[in-house]
Structure 1
């Protein structure tokens, strides 16, 4: 499959099965995803695998962030969650926004690679990505912020690929304005 075919075929899978890629399968895809554009090769990102009980730990932290008494079941919606963390690096050339963009690029590229490898993926965020309890369970350092998670699992049998509305590129693509 070509890159353009993979991008056109990609969709979000809000429901997945209990199957998930192994650590070794994931590591191979992470190595490829890490090839995103990265000014000064800072690699201002890291990923955290959450499996099994890790998801319950996150569910308790989300509940604390929301002021709920019972554990959030959201992290249990997929067998594998991949936390996307921007790890800001000191740089006189690369501003923090650009470093966050690189981390987001890794997340998106990884989601494409996982989808192309046959896994169902959805990107999830929420206000609790900035909560102290959630940061603590991820072991975030002072120079780090959680961007969100990729929820990963098997694609349910019998589910079609779904249909995305075709994008009109002319609505988003323009020429540079000419001086008056």
Structure 2
């Protein structure tokens, strides 16, 4: 099996990660490689936002505002961005185009996010792509500083893989159930 097949075949989500995280400098070459996804028109209709330190607290506050919660429930929600030292927001940054539909641009942004998650995993980091009903709320849009032509697709939560972490098990599919000839 090739290294790529091995890497993709071993991919798993890590819902819990350690406080270690890749630096900005370590992310740069991975982002450069992730940008190689298929991109009709070479529009680069995406961008990524590193969310570290106090920015995670601001994001938590935006989630609480969007949900309209108070008390214990608000504290739980506010703490969600603290599950990892690094969150990477995946943003569909749509461009004006007569030939590339919005859905295609969103697919490119999602492709970059998924490719980046595979690259981070290959480098030994634990990654989980998280979304939720508040992802596209106005308070979250505001804290992420999104323009009118942008949509947040979610965050990659990135950190170290905990010691003793078990290999992910995913039930194999029967590919003939999903791949058909016309």
- Same fold flag (TM > 0.5): yes
2:10 matched residue in structure 1: 9
2:47 matched residue in structure 1: 46
Contact 2:129–2:154 (8 Å) recurs in 1:
yes
The unaligned stretches of length 5 or more in structure 2 are none
Deviation at 1:168, TM superposition (A): 1.2
Deviation at 1:142, TM superposition (A): 0.8
Deviation at 1:164, TM superposition (A): 1.2
Deviation at 1:127, TM superposition (A): 1.4
TM-score (structure 1 length as normaliser): 0.96
Deviation at 1:102, TM superposition (A): 0.2
Query: What is the alpha-carbon distance in structure 1 between the residues aligned to residue 155 and residue 25 of structure 2?
Result: 19
Give the match's secondary structure for 1:14: coil
The alignment status of 1:143 with 2:143, answered yes or no, reads no
Task: Name the Cα RMSD after superposition.
Answer: 0.9
The alignment status of 1:175 with 2:175, answered yes or no, reads no
2:34 matched residue in structure 1: 33
Deviation at 1:128, TM superposition (A): 1.1
One of 128, 138, 149 as aligned partner of 1:132: 138
Query: What is the alpha-carbon distance in structure 1 between the residues aligned to residue 141 and residue 19 of structure 2?
Result: 26
1:158 matched residue in structure 2: 164
Give the match's secondary structure for 1:49: strand
Contact 2:10–2:168 (8 Å) recurs in 1:
no
